[in-house]
């Protein structure tokens, strides 16, 4: 349990006081929030340890407040406020994305699906590089900022008003950090041997980096027969009639839609243009909020889109989808043409892909775990520039190119050195804080209720 991470804002949670250190209260909600973030099972000894750590934190605050050499300026508060907000954005963003992936049953390693989710939050393509942890952090910040600011609006609060309400809490955190910086960290040293020893002891617990493929694609739709087309159209017509009679869009979608994702979220017009024809996009952007389109034939099948919200260049959508499923005869008939495309792709993949611009060329980096069992068999022993396919799936033939292959590797010392150093530093800080607390605890008035 790292002391520096126990920074829960108790000033906004006016609930039961469970302990007091001098004039600094500890609230039930503080303990519960840290406890829930640590485990999902009942563990009384862990709760006791968390409370002891909170008492030590408040004790350090009491010592810092009585130290006349420590002060907090307005500049300190302004600087810390940005970090405080960024931390809130990061946490909100991480929880939002995690919940979204759980809700839609998406594998976090499936970068294709993950990109679709992030686009609904207007995350720019330029930072969707899942090999770079720094860019991953930026994604959480962008998403979290949107979610948190929406929460403020719901509570009729501006960002300035929120920060003003948190000013006292931020000052206290600055004091704690200044006390640690002045009296604790100068006494701590970490040598290279400690870091290496930790790595050697725990290296088996660091996860392996799986095989990663940078994939490009050619997607060829299978043309369904008239009978299959008519069957799907009749289904969507019946659904449209239900909506016109006043049935709830979401209940109808949940019952009949052939896509597990109903609420698509925010999508930019430019992104829609990669998949939908200009007349469909025009129709979507011309319909008023909370209305829905007529049945529209899209590359995926027949859609009815509901417009949840809209601005000049983006729209928030939900949808009902009925797929047009080719028959076995349709699939086999298309295969002959696909094999010809495959031969062309082997000679010049990108040139061939331009002749079939149904979907974007680049899928991006995909970890092996995200491929799914039905695709993994095609990737056995592949190398860079391997052509994979054709693969039939849900009305489409896929031809894939492994543009770049990053083989599985065990984490190296250099990869985790700074992470280990940070962990050791925090552990030593905790130990020093415990020593200071034991030395001074007779000076504190501590009450546990």
Distance CA 421, CA 202 (A): 13
Looking at domain 212-223+327-406, which CATH architecture does it have? Answer: Roll (3.10)
Distance CA 287, CA 218 (A): 33
pLDDT the model gives residue 11: 38
pLDDT the model gives residue 264: 85
pLDDT the model gives residue 132: 56
pLDDT the model gives residue 41: 66
- Cβ atoms of 295 and 302 closer than 8 Å: yes
pTM comes to 0.58
Distance CA 268, CA 311 (A): 10
Q: Where are the alpha helices (DSSP H) in 247-327?
A: 249-256, 269-272, 278-286
Q: Which residue has the tokens 């022993």?
A: 381
C-alpha closest to that of 196 among 410, 414, 409, 1: 414
Domain boundaries, the chain: 3-192+437-448, 212-223+327-406, 226-322
C-alpha closest to that of 130 among 217, 219, 218, 213: 213
- Cβ atoms of 90 and 38 closer than 8 Å: no
pLDDT the model gives residue 60: 92
Per-residue pLDDT of the chain (449 residues; tens, 9 = 90+): 333 333 334 334 346 888 898 988 888 877 887 777 666 567 788 888 888 988 998 999 999 999 999 999 999 998 899 888 888 888 888 888 888 877 777 766 666 777 778 877 877 766 666 555 556 678 888 888 888 888 888 888 888 898 888 898 899 989 999 999 999 999 999 999 999 999 999 888 887 778 888 999 999 989 899 999 999 999 999 999 999 999 999 999 999 999 888 888 888 888 888 778 899 999 999 988 889 999 999 988 999 999 998 888 888 999 999 999 999 999 999 999 999 999 999 999 999 999 988 788 888 888 887 787 788 888 888 889 999 989 998 888 999 999 999 888 888 888 889 989 999 999 999 999 999 999 988 888 888 88
The residues near 67 (Cβ < 8 Å, ≥ 6 apart) are 179
pLDDT the model gives residue 269: 86
Q: Which long-range contacts (CB under 8 A, 24 or more apart) does 19-23 make?
A: 19/51, 19/54, 19/55, 19/446, 19/447, 19/448, 19/449, 20/445, 20/446, 20/447, 21/55, 21/58, 21/59, 21/61, 21/62, 21/444, 21/445, 21/446, 22/58, 22/62, 22/444, 22/445
Task: Return phi, psi of residue 358, to 5°.
Answer: -65, -35
375: left (phi over 0), alpha (psi -120 to 50) or beta: alpha
Q: CA of 228: how far to CAs of 250, 326, 332, in Å?
A: 26, 6, 15
The three-point CA angle 295-296-299 to 5° equals 140
């Amino acid at each position: 349990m790292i002391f520096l991470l126990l920074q829960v804002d108790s000033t906004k949670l006016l609930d039961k006081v469970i302990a007091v250190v001098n004039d600094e209260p500890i609230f039930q909600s503080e303990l519960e929030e840290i406890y829930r973030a640590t485990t999902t099972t009942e563990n009384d000894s862990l709760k006791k340890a968390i409370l002891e750590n909170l008492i030590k934190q408040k004790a350090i605050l009491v010592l810092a407040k009585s130290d006349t050499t420590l002060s907090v300026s307005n500049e300190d508060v302004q600087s810390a406020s940005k970090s405080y907000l960024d931390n809130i954005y990061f946490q909100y963003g991480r929880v939002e994305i995690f919940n979204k992936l759980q809700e839609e049953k998406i594998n976090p390693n499936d970068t294709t699906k993950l990109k679709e989710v992030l686009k609904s939050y207007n995350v720019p393509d330029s930072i969707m590089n899942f090999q770079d942890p720094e860019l991953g952090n930026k994604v959480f910040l962008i998403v979290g900022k949107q979610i948190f600011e929406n929460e403020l609006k719901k509570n009729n609060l501006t960002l300035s008003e929120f920060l003003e309400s948190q000013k006292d809490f931020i000052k206290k955190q600055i004091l704690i950090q200044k006390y640690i910086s002045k009296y604790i960290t100068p006494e701590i040293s970490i040598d290279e041997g400690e870091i290496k020893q930790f790595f050697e002891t725990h290296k088996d617990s660091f996860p392996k980096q799986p095989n990663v493929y940078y994939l490009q694609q050619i997607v060829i739709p299978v043309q369904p027969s008239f009978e299959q087309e008519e069957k799907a159209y009749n289904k969507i017509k019946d659904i449209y009639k239900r909506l016109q009679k006043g049935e709830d869009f979401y209940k109808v979608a949940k019952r009949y839609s052939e896509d597990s994702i109903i609420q698509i979220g925010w999508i930019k017009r430019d992104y829609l243009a990669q998949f939908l024809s200009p007349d469909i996009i025009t129709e979507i952007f011309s319909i008023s909020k909370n209305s829905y389109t007529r049945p529209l034939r899209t590359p995926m099948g027949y859609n009815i889109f509901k417009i949840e919200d809209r601005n000049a260049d983006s729209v928030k959508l939900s949808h009902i989808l009925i797929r047009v499923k080719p028959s076995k005869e349709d699939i086999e008939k298309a295969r002959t043409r696909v094999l010809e495309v495959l031969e062309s792709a082997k000679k010049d993949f990108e040139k061939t892909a331009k002749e079939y611009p149904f979907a974007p060329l680049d899928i991006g980096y995909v970890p092996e775990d995200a491929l799914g069992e039905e695709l993994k068999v095609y990737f056995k022993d592949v190398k860079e520039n391997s052509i994979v396919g054709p693969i039939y799936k849900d009305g489409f033939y896929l031809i894939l190119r492994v543009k770049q292959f990053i083989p599985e590797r065990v984490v190296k010392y250099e990869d985790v050195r700074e992470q280990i150093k940070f962990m050791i530093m925090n552990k030593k800080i905790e130990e020093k804080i415990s020593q200071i607390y034991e030395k001074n605890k007779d000076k504190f008035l501590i009450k546990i209720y």
